[in-house]
């Protein structure tokens, strides 16, 4: 984990320097009498650059322990679920709410949870129906129309 923390600390510092440049060059700082849109972003950039370095120094001084080793964690499940969510957002506009929601829940149950088909279909149908009933029928939220309804 320390390796990732080091990389993030460096990115934080470099990000801070870039924000300073952007605030100074593009947004303009103005003067102390009439501050412009870049003043607070510039100060934030300075803060990030300095804090990134401090974080890096703290990491150099603390030796070795790796947190979270006690419990086995499966890193690919959040990554896959995030990809599924992005696809769901895209599909919602392309094929409509009901179809995309059904496909999303089926994909989730099969890929993330490795559920059996029967349970998957029951959860997908009930979940989609419940959301539709709550948001569309009860709360009158406008949803993207179905592909075949256009």
Partner 1 sequence: MDIFTGLINGFSIALTGTNILFCFLGAFIGTAIGVLPGLGPAATIALLLPMTYIIGSPVTAIIMLAGIYYGAMYGGSTTSILLNLPGEAASVVTCIDGYQMARKGRAGAALGIAAIGSFIAGTVAVVGLTFFAPPLAEFALDFGPPEYFALTTLGLLLAVTLSGGSITKGLIILIVGLLLAMVGLDPISGKIRFTFGSIGLQGGFDFVTLAMGVFGLGEILYNLESTLKTEIVTTKLGKLFPTLKDWADSKWAIFRGSVIGFFIGIIPGGGAVISSLASYAVEKKYSKHPEEFGKGAIEGVAGPESANNAASSSSFIPLLTLGIPGNAAIAMIFAALMIQGITPGPFLVVEHPDVFWGVIASMYIGNVMLLVLNLPMVGIWVQMLRVPYGILAPIIVLFTTIGVYSVQNQVFDIYSMLFFAALGYGMRKLDFNPAPLPLAFVLGPMVERSLRQSLLISGGDLTIFVSRPISGTLVAIFVLLVVGQTAFFIKRKMRGKKTAAT
Q: Could you count the other beta carbons within 10 Å of the beta carbon of residue 16?
A: 20
Point out which residues pair with 30 in neighbouring strands: 35
To the nearest whole angstrom, how small is the minimum distance from the Cβ of residue 58 to partner 1?
6
Q: Is the Cβ of residue 67 or residue 150 nearer to partner 1 in the bound state?
A: 67
Give the CA dihedral 14, 18, 21, 26, nearest 10 degrees.
180
Q: Is the Cβ of residue 89 or residue 146 nearer to partner 1 in the bound state?
A: 89
To the nearest whole angstrom, how small is the minimum distance from the Cβ of residue 119 to partner 1?
9
Across the chain, which distance is largest between two alpha carbons, in Å? 69
To the nearest whole angstrom, how small is the minimum distance from the Cβ of residue 131 to partner 1?
5
Both structure tokens of 44: 């934030």
To the nearest whole angstrom, how small is the minimum distance from the Cβ of residue 148 to partner 1?
19
Q: Could you count the other beta carbons within 10 Å of the beta carbon of residue 55?
A: 17
To the nearest whole angstrom, how small is the minimum distance from the Cβ of residue 139 to partner 1?
5
Q: Is the Cβ of residue 64 or residue 142 nearer to partner 1 in the bound state?
A: 142
Residue by residue, DSSP assigns 81-101 as HHHHHHHHHHHHHHH-HHHHH
Binding site for partner 1 (CB under 8 A): 1, 4-5, 8, 12, 19, 22, 27, 31-37, 39-41, 44, 47-48, 51-52, 54-55, 58, 67, 71-75, 77-78, 81-82, 85-86, 88-90, 92-93, 97, 101, 104-105, 108-109, 112-113, 115, 123, 127-128, 130-131, 135, 139-144
Both structure tokens of 1: 């984990």
């Amino acid at each position: 984990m320390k390796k990732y923390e080091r990389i993030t600390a460096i990115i934080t510092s470099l990000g801070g320097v870039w924000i300073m440049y952007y605030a100074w060059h593009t947004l303009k700082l103005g003067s102390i009498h009439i501050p412009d849109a870049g003043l607070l972003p510039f100060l934030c950039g300075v803060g990030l650059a300095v804090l990134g370095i401090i974080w890096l120094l703290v990491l150099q001084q603390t030796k070795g322990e790796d947190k979270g080793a006690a419990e086995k964690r499966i890193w690919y499940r959040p990554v896959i679920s995030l990809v599924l969510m992005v696809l769901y957002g895209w599909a919602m506009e392309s094929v409509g709410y009901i179809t995309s929601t059904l496909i999303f829940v089926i994909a989730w149950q099969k890929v993330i949870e490795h559920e059996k088909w029967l349970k998957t279909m029951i959860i997908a149908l009930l979940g989609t129906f419940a959301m539709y009933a709550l948001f569309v029928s009860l709360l009158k939220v406008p949803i993207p129309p179905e592909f075949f309804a256009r």
